[in-house]
A and B are shown apart, each in its own frame.
Chain A
């Protein structure tokens, strides 16, 4: 039998057994303490495995990355170089191009995904085949971005003019006498970046739709009916009542999409690997790591990504605290 299969089975059975045993054992251990100390010690024993993982895999390496971003390329004896890596990022045209692309991702991916999600949620709410429509639009979210990349590689396929187009989009625009367009090979107007954004909008609209749809169903229908009785048309009902009530939900979906747009990696790596002016910050980091072997610069890129996400982290924490104090 494959040794890796044996190892996997050992982990799947062994880890739960060890963890449950640990909790039983710790309960037995705290029993020797006084009741007061027991209450103090027990929670930390229950939390210890999770805190260990969080500390080791998230907090500790993040601190090290911040330090590493202030050091040079040499990995064996890294020297302190101050903000040199950051200066490189903000003066290098490739890095700034990647940053610009992330801004485009942030604005257009977030805007289109939330907009389409809202549109679809409102529309399917009024048709009989709602669950079928939702399933179809939601489905791309279940597959990997790599699989989505393959799907869209065939959509965007480009053959020189004069030959039969096998890509769906070029065949479509060809049927009305346009194109062919090299969707994934066009740096001009950052067309290829928009082509990549379209793939992710296709994937994530279902996510926005599901959350917005759930909020939509939570709106009291009597409220909408009352407005209709008062003579408001459907558009007015939507704009004056539905939309304001959906506000908090739209904010939550938008923040999630903003984070997704900043972390964008798989699609770019798989479809263009950053060529044709499509590079993004997360892909730039992997390139600095593996292609150029400059862990100092790669760390600086990661820290810039973290800094861009910090405002949203603060926003989420504030939101969470106000919810907690309400309940």
Chain B
């Protein structure tokens, strides 16, 4: 019985392969078509806005962006010029930078020491404490807003950058500690043991071994935290507040522009692209780290 099956098998496989080949060319074409269609669907919204941002105000409300491809070609940089002068986006861009850079640097350093302690020091309660960090990863920051806002108000911090620097450090830390500890903890134990035998203390191990070997993780984390802060709306909306427009970052300024029914709406496209410029540059320049951070950051499958 088994010999019979064995003899028949090659013939059956051959006919199957033949029919597969003829149908596979058609299948490949359909597959490519579907993927290209998905790419177009995903790109059209952004491309549409990019073209809209380059069209003069006079035609924006009467014709769609796709009419720009036919004559008369109406293109202008006026919206980008106006956005910096009128809508306060220039100031908001500076604010976003002044908020995001310190709010990236502080948690990186604070997390690095904690991650090292979690990885290479033994102490009672270590595992339990790290489980708390894992739990804090998902705590919605909504549950912290009201008490912190009240404290900041008492201390006269509301409306100031220091408030959001500190808040973003606190909110970003669980992920930062988690990501760095996962990376540092997986470094080869032998390296640290032989360093200790050679008389290196923890400070030396940290700066000479753990940090240099963990640079990819630091890079991924820095990109993440920077983008998280740069793209944040809620934290700056609560702790800086609409009452302090001079200190608001771009997200809050643009969100305000969307909701206002004033004459600035034609600047929205240009404003959005100004706010996207830095994230997109980071994304294209450092995509490798970006992807690594995402894959490494998800609780491993």
Contacts and interface: CB of A to CB of B under 8 A. Distances in A.
A173 interface: no
8 nearest A-B residue pairs (beta carbon): A57-B170, A144-B231, A50-B114, A249-B301, A61-B144, A61-B147, A64-B147, A46-B117
Interface stretch (B34-42, B81-89, B188-196): B34-42
A8 interface: yes
B144 A153 contact: no
A146 B64 contact: no
A150 B269 contact: yes
Given A137-B38, A164-B63, A168-B64, 12 more contacts: A8-B102, A12-B102, A68-B147, A123-B38, A143-B275, A151-B49, A154-B65, A166-B65, A231-B13, A262-B140, A306-B143, A320-B299
Contact of B268 (A150, A210, A324): A150
Q: What class of interface size applies to chain A in its complex with B?
A: 35 or more
Interface stretch (A106-114, A189-197, A268-276): A268-276
17 contacts: A7-B161, A49-B114, A57-B173, A61-B148, A65-B143, A124-B35, A135-B284, A135-B287, A140-B42, A150-B272, A164-B62, A168-B48, A171-B64, A265-B234, A270-B233, A295-B146, A306-B142
Contact of A252 (B139, B230, B298): B298
Contacts of A317: 131, 134-135
B49 A27 contact: no
B114 A152 contact: no
A221 to B, nearest CB: 17
B48 A155 contact: yes
B227 interface: yes
A226 to B, nearest CB: 13
B136 interface: yes
Interface of B: 12-13, 16, 31-32, 34-35, 38-39, 42-46, 48-49, 52, 60-66, 94, 98, 101-102, 105-107, 109-111, 113-114, 116-118, 121-123, 126-127, 129, 131, 133-140, 142-148, 161-162, 165-167, 169-171, 173-174, 177, 201-203, 206, 227, 230-234, 237-238, 247, 250-252, 254-255, 258-259, 268-269, 271-272, 275-276, 279-280, 282-284, 287, 290-291, 294-295, 298-301
A214 interface: yes
Nearest to B162: A7
A94 interface: no
Contact of B139 (A58, A132, A145): A58
A29 interface: no
A144 B279 contact: yes
A251 B301 contact: yes
Contacts of A259: 138
Nearest to A16: B109
A65 B138 CA distance: 16
B109 A8 contact: no
Contact of B16 (A56, A207, A231): A231
Interface in A133-188: 133, 135-140, 142-147, 149-155, 164-168, 171
A145 B142 contact: no
A151 B45 contact: yes
Contact of A142 (B127, B146, B290, B300): B290
